[in-house]
Amino acid sequence: MGLIRGLTMLLFLSLNTLAWFAVLGVMAVIRFAVPNEGWRQRWGARMNFIIDGWIAGNRFMFRLLGTMQVEAEGTEGLSRDGWYLVVSNHQTWTDIFILQAVYGQRLPPLKFFMKQELIWLPLIGVACYALDFPFMRRYSREFLEKHPEYRGHDLETARRKCERFRPTPTAMLIFVEGTRFTPEKHRAQQSPYRHLLRPRAGGVGFVLGAMGDQLHGLVDTTIVYPDGAPTFWQFLCGSGRRVRVAVEHTPLPVELTGGDYVRDDDYRARIQSWVDDLWRRKDARIEALIRQPEASAITVTES
C-alpha cells in the first residue's frame, strides 16, 4: 500500500507541477515582455496565485491519500496581508510541504533564499526565478581568500533582493541552520544544541536590515517528526507521516531592525546573540515536542 501511495503521490505532484508551470510560463512571458519595473512588480505579485494553486492541489492529495498527519499549535493571529520573517529548523525536503500545509492561507506565499546553482533545476529553477524567489551566489572560503573584494557580496545581494518585497505582503522563510540536520553534521560541528545545528545569522540579519521596519513579526516554527525525519520518498509513501509543529508569533525587537549587517560590527553581534538565544529556546521546545503525548495539539487538515 505504501508503494502505491508513493507512486500515486509522485505522479500527481509531477502533473500538478507541470500544469501550473504552463500557467506560469504564459504569465512570465507577459511580465518580462514589458520593460517597466513597476509593472513587473505588480504583475509578479499577481502571479503568487500560482503558488497558492500548486500548494492547494498538493494538500488535497496529501489529505486524500493520508500522506501526512500534522499536529500544529500557535497559528492564531497570522494574516495573509502582512509581512513576516519565518524561521524554522530543517531536517528534510519534507519540511517545505509541512510548512505549506500549516500556513496555507494563514500567511502570504513563503519565499526563501535559494542557491544560484538551483536556477538550472528543470522547471523548478525557472519557476522560482519568475516568482521572485531570491537567488544567492555563495562564495567558498578559498575563493574569498583569492578574491577578497567579493567578501560580503552575497549578503549585499540578499539585502537588495529583500528590498523588492516591500510593496507586496511577503513571508520570508529562513532555514537558519543553512543545511539539513544530520547526526554526522551535528557531530562535525560540535553543536552546543541537542537537536539543532549551529545557526547562521546572516540571512536573518539582512532581512531585518532591509525590511525590519515593515515586518509584522517573527513566526518561529519548530518541526518535529516523532517517528524520525523521513526521506522525501518515505514521506510520499506515508512513512513517518506524524508531524508536530509549534508556532510562536512574536514582535521583532525594534533595536534589531534597519541595521547594516555587513558593515556594523555591533549590529551584527546583536543579531547573532539574538539568534543564538532563539536557537536555545527552540532546542528546548523540540525536546518538549518529542516528549509530548500524541494528538495533544490541533490536527491540521486544511487551511
Are the C-beta atoms of 297 and 71 separated by less than 8 Å?
yes
What are 239-281's pLDDT values in tens digits?
877 899 999 999 999 889 888 887 789 999 999 999 999 999 9
Cα separation, 130 vs 47, in Å, equals: 9
Cα–Cα nearest to 287, from 244, 252, 256, 255 = 244
Assigned domain for 264 exists = yes
Q: Which domain holds residue 287?
A: 67-300
Contacts for 252 with CB less than 8 Å, ≥ 6 apart: 85, 208, 212, 215, 217, 218
For a pLDDT cut of 90, what percent of the chain falls above it?
53
- The verdict on residue 238 lying in a domain is yes
Task: Give 171-210 pLDDT, tens digit per residue.
Answer: 999 999 989 999 999 999 999 999 999 999 988 988 898 8
- In this prediction the pTM is 0.87
Name the grid cell of 47: 502571479
pLDDT of residue 177: 94
Residue 102 is assigned to a structural domain of this protein: yes
* Number of domains present in the structure of the chain: 1
Do the domain assignments include residue 260? yes
Residue 234 lies in a domain: yes
Instruction: Give CA 292 to chain center in angstroms.
Output: 25
CATH number at residue 112: 3.40.1130
Q: Residue 43's Cα: distance from chain center in Å?
A: 23
Average pLDDT per consecutive 10 residues, the chain (303 residues; last block may be shorter): 90 94 93 87 89 93 88 92 95 93 91 80 83 75 69 68 81 93 95 96 87 90 93 88 93 88 88 96 95 60 43
| 27: in domain | no
Cα distance between residue 190 and residue 182, in whole Å? 12
> Is residue 30 a part of any domain in this protein?
no
